[in-house]
Amino acid sequence: MIVEYIQSALLLIAAFLVIVSAVGFLSLPKDMKNVVYARIHIIGIFDIACIIAMIGLGQYLLAVIYLILAPFTAHAIANAFYKSEDVVNNVELNVVEEDEDNPNPFIVNKSKVQELENEDSEKLKTDERFTISTLDINEEE
Amino acid sequence: MDILIISKYILIIAFIIMMFAALRASAYKGTSMGLLGSSVVVVAFAVALLVFGQMYNLTFYRDISLALIFFGFVGTVAFSIVAGGDK
């Protein structure tokens, strides 16, 4: 009888935590700073609620396994977000490679073409059908 | 009605609410939010399956729930490694 009360109390606590985390998960404003990390933090509450529910259901091994696995998931998602999408905190994502302004793509600087000729490119060696030739054009002529 | 059964029903309702919330959140902007929402849906379904299995004496519910939790973790970590790039 006492065990049933303890089990039901654990399940009710888990249900309360799950509903609180669901409300918090959706009610965060979208334009808040670092909102994804805040959501990951809220999911931590949901994870603990799941562990409490598993203990209340008598599945202790599953609870231990999930207790070990849940932080790895949260850190992996936060790491992926930081490396790929977090333009606020990650400075590397704000660096934009500027394209050179080249109004006419058919006229290339002579020194660049000579650099290309001097390169021992394997592609040029294997494919001898294509050659690069330079032509000097003076503006006076 | 037994208080244990009532609390199990309340827990299942809470998990269903959480699954809908996670589905909504997975539609937010960004790959990470989709990843987060889908992992929450999987875990909520696995624990709800545990409760269902105990209520109706289903066989193999614990194995299915263990598989969902474990492979959901593996998939989430694998996709986060892919999404994070190799820098």
With both helix axes pointing from N to C terminus, report the angle between B3-25 and B31-56 in degrees, rounded to the nearest 10: 160
What residue spans define the domains of chain B? 3-84
A113: in domain = no
B17 lies within 8 A of chain A by CB: yes
A50 lies within 8 A of chain B by CB: yes
State the first-to-last Cα distance of chain B, in angstroms, to the nearest integer.
Answer: 57
Separation of alpha carbons A139 and B84, rounded Å: 51
Q: Which residues of B touch A69 (CB under 8 A)?
A: 69-70, 73
The pair of three-digit structure tokens given for residue B67, joined into one six-digit string: 């598989």
Separation of alpha carbons B58 and B65, rounded Å: 12
Res A24: pLDDT? 93
Query: pLDDT higher for A122 or B57?
Result: B57
Residue numbers of the domain that contains A11: 2-90
Band (pLDDT 50/70/90 cuts) for residue B76 is very high
Q: Quick count: other Cβ atoms within 10 Å of Cβ A133? A: 6
| pLDDT of residue B77 exceeding 60 | yes
Q: Which residues of B touch A12 (CB under 8 A)?
A: 7, 10-11
The pair of three-digit structure tokens given for residue A21, joined into one six-digit string: 């985390």
How many separate domains does chain A show? 1
| pLDDT of residue A44 exceeding 90 | yes
Separation of alpha carbons B72 and B43, rounded Å: 8
The pair of three-digit structure tokens given for residue A88, joined into one six-digit string: 């606020």
Interface test with B, best of A73, A75, A95 (most B CBs within 10 A): A73
A58: in domain = yes
Res A100: pLDDT? 63
Separation of alpha carbons B42 and B38, rounded Å: 6
Question: What percent of chain A lies above the pLDDT cut of 90?
Answer: 52
Res A1: pLDDT? 85
pLDDT digits (tens, 9 = 90+) for A80-125: 999 988 888 888 887 766 666 666 767 777 777 777 777 666 655 5
A117: in domain = no
